[in-house]
Structure 1
């Protein structure tokens, strides 16, 4: 397991790509032990070619939005990446922060793990979800209010990456605050071993799929 903390993700605040992600609304999901095609199939996504880098993904999604302005379908991009305990698939979608559907995430996590975080754009709602072996283990918008089958299991990691929580998992008013989104990205890396960088996202070759409304 890496020792990454929120400080390692300070780059998001000067990143044009991450600014676009937060303004548009996005979901970034990491799935262990599944190929990009398997993941897109599980999301009922219609294959629509490939996209080179986030520029290709954004272009494909923008073209779809122009054609189908009123529905909530979107183009997701997936690619393979190495992480803890094997191969993972990273899926990025500019989906207004809808997030991967819980039943789909549960299925994809059977025998493995799914970690997702999202932002809805505008006045942001930032969500985090961790699924393990078919079960939602922990989810939160703000880390002091957690739900799921094991809502307190991540408290040590949350503290480690910089969230001001006590050992009991409540907010520590005396501790310095942390960039919550940077902290969530660090938490996702702790759970997956995948370091998400601007270069990783910008330079990947994405398998594209149109996720239905």
Structure 2
């Protein structure tokens, strides 16, 4: 297993780092074992848009894509390439302003029979998330290390401490939490993400459609008052 810690990812905060763009505008980075980039895009229903060489070129493609629309598009670009990691080849997919790695339905499909790990940020807010899926099941996810959910929310606690994340919430102010999340991802995948790797990779590019909004059919009212009296009521849409 990798011995990565937050210190190995201090480069992401350099003002000259290409990752600085991802942190500024928001990103999602997803790693899937044993599934090719073209198969990842097929599973998520993405439309191929050719290839580009290097992260600079992917950022240029992203900016050009946004310029095609007067308003924010109902899709986003993702770039993906193959990288060696624990147990074989992995696909690394990176997008800016997208949410491929945070969609439960897609991550369940991508991780069927294998492992998928993602981390993300929505930019300046910020909201940062980590997701680990195994065999189609969400095992551990969190925004804050102390607030974990999933089928095995505590399984990574030991590894989290090793990379610099405290699952009790008693965070060390000297630890870069984002860098620690990248280190945690490396521990689970064996993939060392470096500035050079992202800068020099050949990316397959595809347009990923936004997840359709499900039409609501009704609402549930569930209220318990101070005396313990509960009001529970299902209201169908046709009744409103």
Residue 45, structure 1, aligned to residue 23, structure 2: no
Give the TM-score normalised by structure 2. 0.83
Please report how far the alpha carbon of residue 80 of structure 1 lies from its aligned counterpart in structure 2 after TM superposition: 0.2
- 8 Å contact kept, 2:132–2:141: yes
Instruction: Give unmatched runs, 5+ long, in structure 1.
Output: none
- 8 Å contact kept, 2:48–2:207: yes
The correspondence of residues 62-81 of structure 1 with structure 2, limited to 5 A, is: 62-68=63-69, 69-81=71-83
Partner of 1:11: 11
Secondary structure at 1:103's aligned position in 2?
A: helix
* Whole-angstrom distance in 2 between the partners of 1:103 and 1:66: 29
Please report how far the alpha carbon of residue 199 of structure 1 lies from its aligned counterpart in structure 2 after TM superposition: 0.4
> Superposition RMSD on alpha carbons, in Å?
1.5
Partner of 2:182: 185
The correspondence of residues 162-181 of structure 1 with structure 2, limited to 5 A, is: 162-163=164-165, 165=166, 169-172=167-170, 177-181=174-178
Choose the corresponding residue for 2:113, options 87, 111, 114.
Answer: 111
Give the TM-score normalised by structure 1. 0.93
1:124–1:184 CA distance, 2 compared to 1 (3 A):
same
- 8 Å contact kept, 1:25–1:97: no
- 8 Å contact kept, 1:96–1:121: no
- 8 Å contact kept, 2:31–2:118: yes
- 8 Å contact kept, 1:24–1:96: no
CA shift digits 1:145-199 (9 cap, x unpaired): 1001110011001001012x3xxx41236x5641100000000000000000000
Secondary structure at 1:131's aligned position in 2?
A: strand
Q: Could you say which structure has the greater relative contact order, defined with CA pairs below 8 angstroms and 6 or more residues apart?
A: 1
